[in-house]
């Protein structure tokens, strides 16, 4: 799968998000303030529910991307850009809440989920509310194309989640099918974020296409690394036990590659272990599955695939004029590819 592609070496120092987003520090802070102010105007019950979800600070990668592109394009309407960045993050939060309901997850990044705090009924309503609120916010920009882009992203995300759920414990899932699922589930919002910023900044067609490709490939890279960290990451840093995806029925790229590379006997043995893990996760030792993945080269091949996509994202940026904002977008690729949580 890797062909002649050589894995790049990680940078001597993996950049921190705070450094990467330094050119838009004030804009990102404004987006956060807008995000945190929304629950104040809702009924008491929704206010209590949404405050907990919104005040749990995430990485803010998607709003950071939108603001970096807006800065690169010279957008002067800072509040408008920040409101749109907050809308994108709200849509992301809504998808996480729905994910946690589907996966019955009690914790995310070591923090209690809305599901654990409020139960499935209230959590479902909260996720729905945040999705709708994100779309409603886009109307304040008074550009129908902006609302259409966010709506399309929401549709693709829900389609991706549905298709992933339908593929639960499908040990015959193909790599092509997996890539289509994560393209919708994750990369669609990254790409939409870039499109929104381009629309706001009146980017040229050449810039828009380049940044669409950047966002799409960065989103794919992000999800593949997420799936890899689920297997190889330190639970203290990722905030979840190893093989959480498998416990929830997700068949991810490392497993797909390992199954593909195994001979018939090896494939049946790995499938047997995966079935055991599915039915009796307490008796099947995750370390044995991890050893199998290492020996097959699947972990290295997964990182190689993510690296190829990361390089595609980096190449897309060459179409842009050099600015501090473009440099930050490039450094974000290194963070996404080499992060440990």
Three-state secondary-structure class, residue 56: coil
Backbone angles phi, psi at 282, to 5 degrees: -80, -25
Nearest-angstrom CA–CA distance, 280 and 79: 52
pLDDT tens sequence across 138-178: 888 889 999 999 999 999 999 999 999 999 999 999 999 99
- List all residues 6 or more positions away from 291 whose beta carbon is below 8 Å from its beta carbon: none
8 Å CB contact between 149 and 234: no
| 1: pLDDT strictly greater than 50 | no
pLDDT, one tens digit per residue, over 297-317 is 999 999 999 999 999 999 999
Q: Which domains does the chain have, with CATH numbers?
A: 17-338 (1.10.600.10)
Instruction: Give start and end residues of each alpha helix (H) in the chain.
Output: 17-20, 25-37, 44-54, 61-72, 78-103, 114-138, 144-166, 175-182, 188-200, 205-232, 235-238, 244-247, 253-261, 264-279, 286-296, 298-316, 324-338
Residue (of 131, 23, 36, 127) closest to 78 by Cα position: 23
- Please list, residue by residue across 143-171, b when 16 or more beta carbons sit within 10 angstroms of its beta carbon and e when fewer do: beebbebbeebbebbbebbeebeebeeee
Query: 108 falls in which pLDDT band (50, 70, 90)?
Result: confident
- Note the residue count of the chain: 341
pTM recorded for the entire structure: 0.93
CA distance linking residue 290 with residue 25, whole number of Å: 40
Of the chain, the percentage scoring pLDDT greater than 70 comes to 96
């Amino acid at each position: 799968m890797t062909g002649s592609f050589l894995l790049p070496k990680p940078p001597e120092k993996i950049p921190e998000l705070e450094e990467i987003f330094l050119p838009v520090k004030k804009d990102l802070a404004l987006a956060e303030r807008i995000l945190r102010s929304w629950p104040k105007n809702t009924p008491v019950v929704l206010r209590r529910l949404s405050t907990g979800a919104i005040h749990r600070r995430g990485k803010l990668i998607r709003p950071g991307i939108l603001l970096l592109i807006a800065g690169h394009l010279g957008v002067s309407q800072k509040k408008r850009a920040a409101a749109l960045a907050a809308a994108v993050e709200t849509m992301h939060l809504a998808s996480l809440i729905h994910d946690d309901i589907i996966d019955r997850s009690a914790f995310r990044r070591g923090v209690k989920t809305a599901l654990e705090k409020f139960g499935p009924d209230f959590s479902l309503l909260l996720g729905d509310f945040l999705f709708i609120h994100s779309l409603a916010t886009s109307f304040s920009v008074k550009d129908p194309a902006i609302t259409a882009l966010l709506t399309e992203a929401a549709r693709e995300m829900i389609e991706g989640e549905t298709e992933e759920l339908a593929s639960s414990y499908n040990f015959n899932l193909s790599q092509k099918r997996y890539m289509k699922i994560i393209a919708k589930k994750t990369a669609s919002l990254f790409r939409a974020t870039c499109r929104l910023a381009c629309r706001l900044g009146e980017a040229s067609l050449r810039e828009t296409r380049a940044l669409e490709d950047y966002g799409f490939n960065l989103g794919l890279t992000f999800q593949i690394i997420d799936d890899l960290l689920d297997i190889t990451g330190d639970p203290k840093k990722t905030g979840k036990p190893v093989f959480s995806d498998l416990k929830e029925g997700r068949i991810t790229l490392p497993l797909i590659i390992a199954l593909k590379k195994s001979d018939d006997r090896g494939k049946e043995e790995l499938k047997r272990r995966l079935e055991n893990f599915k039915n009796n996760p307490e008796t099947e030792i995750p370390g044995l599955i991890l050893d199998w993945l290492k020996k097959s080269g699947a972990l290295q091949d997964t990182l190689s695939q993510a690296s190829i996509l990361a390089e595609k994202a980096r190449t897309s940026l060459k179409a842009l004029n050099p600015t501090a904002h473009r440099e930050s977008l490039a450094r974000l690729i290194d963070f996404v590819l080499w992060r440990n949580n």
